[in-house]
Structure 1
């Protein structure tokens, strides 16, 4: 059958005469031709940028905490770990008297990877009775050992494995560029998942299955160590502060180092999220099935609330001298040279002559927005108590933006910020009460399960 024959049409097929009509329509549209001439030679972001709006986002802050250098996650998805370790170092740098002290992000990733491998294999054993093409195992197999994570996952790693100075477990080629290492680990773990599932369905004993799992984890440990190095179990800690003073901290384990040089009690914090979907009421706790890394660690827990509450509590923390970890959808409406966000900064609709306007709920519900990046609020500009803009410590090095720091107009917070981590004692009473209730359990593939 000739699909171009007018007498024989395939229902739903794109008709040639329609394409010809659209070509003619575009050719007769001077605005479309002008946009094409611009966008074929220049980035559409540059063409669509509202430059007056950009100039209106000032960089000054009434409350600013940072006077240190931004870190660099390089070609890895470790932003969530960088943001958390940047929060911890804001505390440690005071005790150490070292402005640009950093914890080892490589150390944190090493332990997240090995713990997450164990978590994944336990899931595969538990789900062994389901077929490989069931949606849950399919989803888990498709997202093995990603670099990203959520707040409760990093707390679980720090609680169990502590932290160390960056000088004791520095970056490696693979910690800064994780793709090849991750590919090998995924192959290893997917092979292990197949072997474990087969053993379970064939009726192998629990001890046999556990022995198989330990063998897979031993191989995982070997691959990780080849790529990332050996994490220290204990170390002698001596350092010079910024004034040249010498200090001897003695012999410490990573867990002792965390306790000795930070005062932030990680268990006192909770993650507030803005899930805009009506079926997930504000004031309720949420969790995501199969999302975690440390077996036996606290599950990922969110308190669903409105952006204004999130802003108020985050601003209070900054004014009190504490940076705030947050997660967002980082790419939309961002001017990439200066590092400025505003909800109405880039007008694609005007360039295309096509209505692209959507709400936050519509973007979440239809897969157009989710948590993609975690950073740290290090400042807020308040006018009569209301935030106008936010200072952000990114983890993309010091060569970009304002020496690695960005500025967020408050309008962007409403549209693209999804979560902030705050101390529980800053919560209003009704949100504290929600912590005692059983959370709504979301599917593993739910947008709120996206890894920052």
Structure 2
């Protein structure tokens, strides 16, 4: 690992169950790390604390310089390491031959999982129809898929936080009303009825033309990349059937839990009692890497989920564990392993993106990956990011892989469908559903200030086709 996240001794050495370390565990950990007892055993800030810290600064020219520089600058700008910038060029020797475009923008919405899904799906559509500019519009967990020029964005599809807040309050109010009405003559609402009434408010906000019905025909006029005018007529179902995705499933890397087992996240934070349960095959990180390499070599873009806010230089589009010199500047050392970060809820899957290329060394090992983001063309290299292999190891949690390109033993685990309940030690994507807008500002799934919807990363495999209901 790089200097930001190198693991020497972890909290997990104190306690290995899913509940995480206790307060005595933490005190023991810091006692072993620092060679002395903590200045405060209660967590209260005392004058002794302040005196000790100031004394340390007075004895350290490095900390004095750190204080001088960082007192009036954003420390992320000041501590960006030039060596990392030089080591992470946007150059890749193994790429998907057919290029898609343009770079999409989810704007102020938590739809990263949906943009990553449609950015994968559009690859086969653009290749088949000979397009150089194409975006899919999105609605309701990818149930409807039509060209974005036919059904454009509305204000609140790209600014979802205000309406989501209203819907959440409405749903809670209706369910609370139903609970207090059980023994009164007033109307009783089940939670399903409360959700239906709430969603009706959402529908009233929308223009009917914004919702393409699965069986309603539409006509799409377009140009090929050579400027030839073309036209397509059909339903969203037929549009989907013309370029269906590969039969795929979700691989996750959660080192807290047993590998080669199937895990489930119950409803993924949804309230609906009959919501689909997502399932994931937990496996070693090397299997996720090889799944990426196989797909890129086969010409397929790769859907993946990660904790994007960690060691991320957004303006330059760098995902690199060595990008910031935090430890050197603050005279600290980070000792959490990937498993420990999950136990401490210090990391979780906050974003979904697409890998379109990988740079391999002479032995065929991955060095860095080319990442298609959905934050528009401003950050990174025109919207494209570089992710190092070390960053992949620590902060990538999920890769979606076609069955035909996955190891047979992991396909067998998935098809066995003997999923274990995640319990307290839930897969890392479960935590995304609890993100708040403020958390999203520090690396959530949307642009700064967005709401952070659950990363429903595998649901496109199951429900991308319009349902019969």
What TM-score, normalized to structure 1? 0.78
Deviation at 1:80, TM superposition (A): 0.5
Aligned residue in 2 for 1:339: 317
Cα shift readout 1:106-130 (whole Å, capped 9, x = no counterpart): xx2xx2xxxxxxxxxxxxxxxxxxx
Q: Alignment partner for residue 73 of structure 2, among 25, 34, 42? A: 42
Aligned residue in 2 for 1:285: 262
Aligned residue in 1 for 2:365: 386
Aligned residue in 1 for 2:63: 32
Aligned residue in 1 for 2:52: 21
Deviation at 1:334, TM superposition (A): 1.7
Deviation at 1:365, TM superposition (A): 0.7
Deviation at 1:213, TM superposition (A): 4.6
Flag the 1:296–1:240 CA change in 2: closer, same or farther, 3 A: farther
Q: Alignment partner for residue 52 of structure 1, among 83, 92, 96? A: 83
Cα shift readout 1:382-416 (whole Å, capped 9, x = no counterpart): 22322111000000101221111111111111011
Matches of residues 38-437 of structure 1 in structure 2 within 5 Å?
38-65=69-96, 66-105=99-138, 108=139, 111=140, 157-158=141-142, 161-199=143-181, 201-202=182-183, 209=189, 213-214=192-193, 217-227=196-206, 230-233=210-213, 234=216, 235-250=218-233, 252-260=234-242, 262-265=243-246, 268-277=247-256, 280-291=257-268, 298-383=276-361, 384-435=363-414, 436-437=416-417
Flag the 1:11–1:44 CA change in 2: closer, same or farther, 3 A: closer
1:439 aligns with 2:419: yes
Using the alignment, how far apart are the partners of 2:402 and 2:185 within structure 1? 46
Deviation at 1:310, TM superposition (A): 0.7
Using the alignment, how far apart are the partners of 2:303 and 2:44 within structure 1? 49
Deviation at 1:313, TM superposition (A): 1.3
Secondary structure of the structure 2 residue equivalent to 1:271: strand
Using the alignment, how far apart are the partners of 2:300 and 2:155 within structure 1? 32
Using the alignment, how far apart are the partners of 1:380 and 1:92 within structure 2? 23
Deviation at 1:34, TM superposition (A): 0.6
Aligned residue in 2 for 1:118: none
Secondary structure of the structure 2 residue equivalent to 1:175: coil
Secondary structure of the structure 1 residue equivalent to 2:146: coil
CA contact (8 A) 2:250 2:399 kept: yes
What TM-score, normalized to structure 2? 0.76
Instruction: Compute the RMSD of aligned alpha carbons.
Output: 2.7
Deviation at 1:57, TM superposition (A): 1.5
Flag the 1:445–1:217 CA change in 2: closer, same or farther, 3 A: farther
CA contact (8 A) 2:260 2:283 kept: yes
Pick the structure with more helix per residue. Answer: 1
CA contact (8 A) 2:174 2:194 kept: no
Deviation at 1:187, TM superposition (A): 0.8
Deviation at 1:162, TM superposition (A): 2.9
Deviation at 1:242, TM superposition (A): 2.3
Flag the 1:100–1:48 CA change in 2: closer, same or farther, 3 A: same
CA contact (8 A) 1:289 1:443 kept: no
CA contact (8 A) 1:326 1:377 kept: yes
Flag the 1:409–1:13 CA change in 2: closer, same or farther, 3 A: closer
Deviation at 1:248, TM superposition (A): 2.9
Deviation at 1:433, TM superposition (A): 2.0
Flag the 1:182–1:416 CA change in 2: closer, same or farther, 3 A: same
Using the alignment, how far apart are the partners of 1:10 and 1:317 within structure 2? 52
My pick for the range that moved more, 333-342 or 299-308, is 333-342
Deviation at 1:331, TM superposition (A): 1.3
Cα shift readout 1:77-129 (whole Å, capped 9, x = no counterpart): 11100000000111111122221110013xx2xx2xxxxxxxxxxxxxxxxxx
Uncovered stretches (5+) of structure 1, i.e. residues with no partner: 1-8, 112-156
Using the alignment, how far apart are the partners of 2:199 and 2:43 within structure 1? 49
Secondary structure of the structure 2 residue equivalent to 1:173: coil
Count of residue pairs the alignment pairs up = 384
Uncovered stretches (5+) of structure 2, i.e. residues with no partner: 1-39, 433-453, 456-469
Using the alignment, how far apart are the partners of 2:297 and 2:331 within structure 1? 43
Flag the 1:10–1:284 CA change in 2: closer, same or farther, 3 A: closer
